[in-house]
Amino acid sequence: MADPEPTYLNTLRLIPKLPFLFGPSPIQALPRLTRAISPPTSCDPRITIHAKREDCNSPLAYGGNKVRKLVYLVADAQAHACTALVSVGGIQSNHTRAVTAVAAAAGLQAVTVQERWVPIDPPLYAQTGNILLSRLMGGDVRVGIGEEGGGEEGFGIGHKEATRRVCREVEEKGGKPYYIPAGASDHELGGLGFVDCMVEIAGQERELGIFFDTVIVCSVTGSSHAGLIVGAVAEGRGRKVIGIDASGKPEETKEQVTRIARNTAKLLDPDLEIPDSAIILDDRFHEGVYGVPGPSTIKAMQLAARTDAVITDPVYEGKSMAGMIQLIREGTIGPGSNVLYVHLGGQPALNAYSSYFETESAKDVQ
């Protein structure tokens, strides 16, 4: 007789979610990037690099990691008969674009507070990219409304007063708001999407005949990272999940990742413990500030694009790509490892950062 399924899997399958994903997002081998970072030698087994393409996970507005999380939150909003999704992000927020997308697909209103979290103002920064898509989808996009309450609160992964005011406004107009924190992260259900992602990865490994001993993921608001940690600890195969900080506030991010991971674990299985050793956050690649690319970010973006045509963004994935490249080159990820880079999406923001690439040529970036 087959062994019973683990408690966390049984619980996860009972929690309602909406069908906003294509199904398992693809896993792509990256042979040219692998050769560029980890050239073959006569004695050491090669590292292999694959990408889990969360940027290709949904038909809704370019998908991405936020849609994977929101499938659980929007189901909960519907269960509570809510009429509007209310959330917050920066001007070029992938998250608010995803909130607007799932609201449109579910027949709900979306009200998003777009704050100036990034200390730059390149041409058309507030008119192109993610914010353009949110407007196209009919979202109620509020730029700079934090100033009405005495000034914007600035970048931070915590909860915002401006969203509380918007929720009150929705109620005053007869609606019922469903509040979603930044990144869909610091929410009871925020970590579930990427526990589900790790379950999905394990199934794909069986089909591919490979085990990814090292998983790399960008970490800012923390729930993608936290969910992967919970999934890895729960399956008990010794897989390491390494978060690459892109927040520029790694102490806050690590605290939030830890809290979300442990709360998610308790939700799925009261006996599931997340040890400190499972929570790894490398803080060397955030370039000093959230949302601004530096030289290592741009070089990593170029290398990924010019080897296997993997397009990353300058806010999140460019920084986690830089982290993965360095971890392999310095030997922290050793010979023979099978590395899975979890590509969380974010490419729509590239248009707003075009000035960072205007002078770049096809020079060698390796």
Beta strand extents in 295-336 (DSSP E only): none
pLDDT in tens, 194-246: 999 999 999 999 999 999 999 999 999 999 999 999 999 999 999 999 999 99
- pLDDT for 362 beyond 50: no
Residue 166 phi, psi dihedral angles, 5° rounding = -65, -40
The structural domains of the chain, with segments of one domain joined by +, span 7-60+188-356, 65-184
How far apart CA 122 and CA 332 sit, in angstroms, is 36
Inter-residue contact 90 to 102 (CB < 8 Å): no
Q: Residue 46 has what DSSP assignment?
A: P
For position 150, what pLDDT does the model report? 47
> Residue 29 pairs with which residues in a beta bridge?
50
Residue 62 phi, psi dihedral angles, 5° rounding = 75, 5
For position 40, what pLDDT does the model report? 72
**How is residue 361 written in tokens?**
């040529």
Look up the CATH number of domain 65-184.
3.40.50.1100
Residue 254: other Cβ atoms inside 10 A: 20
Q: Is 355 a catalytic residue?
A: no
**How is residue 135 written in tokens?**
């407007």
Which is nearest to 58 in space by CA: 344, 350, 352, 319? 344
Inter-residue contact 229 to 198 (CB < 8 Å): no
pLDDT in tens, 73-128: 999 999 999 999 999 999 999 999 999 999 999 999 999 999 999 999 888 999 99
SS3 28: strand
Alpha helices in the chain (DSSP H): 7-14, 31-37, 65-79, 94-106, 129-136, 161-172, 192-208, 223-235, 250-268, 295-308, 317-329
Inter-residue contact 8 to 182 (CB < 8 Å): no
Q: What is the mean pLDDT of the chain?
A: 94
Which is nearest to 214 in space by CA: 195, 224, 201? 201
Place of tokens 């690649």: 285
Which is nearest to 215 in space by CA: 203, 183, 227? 227
For position 156, what pLDDT does the model report? 74
* Mean pLDDT calculated for residue range 7-21: 98
pLDDT in tens, 296-350: 999 999 999 999 999 999 999 999 999 999 999 999 999 999 999 999 999 999 9
25, 93, 223, 337: the active-site residue:
93
- pLDDT for 151 beyond 60: no
What pTM, to 2 d.p., does this model score?
Answer: 0.95
What is the architecture, at CATH level 2, of domain 7-60+188-356? 3-Layer(aba) Sandwich (3.40)
Decide whether 7-60+188-356 matches 65-184 in CATH topology: yes
Helix 192-208 to helix 250-268 angle, to the nearest 10 degrees? 80
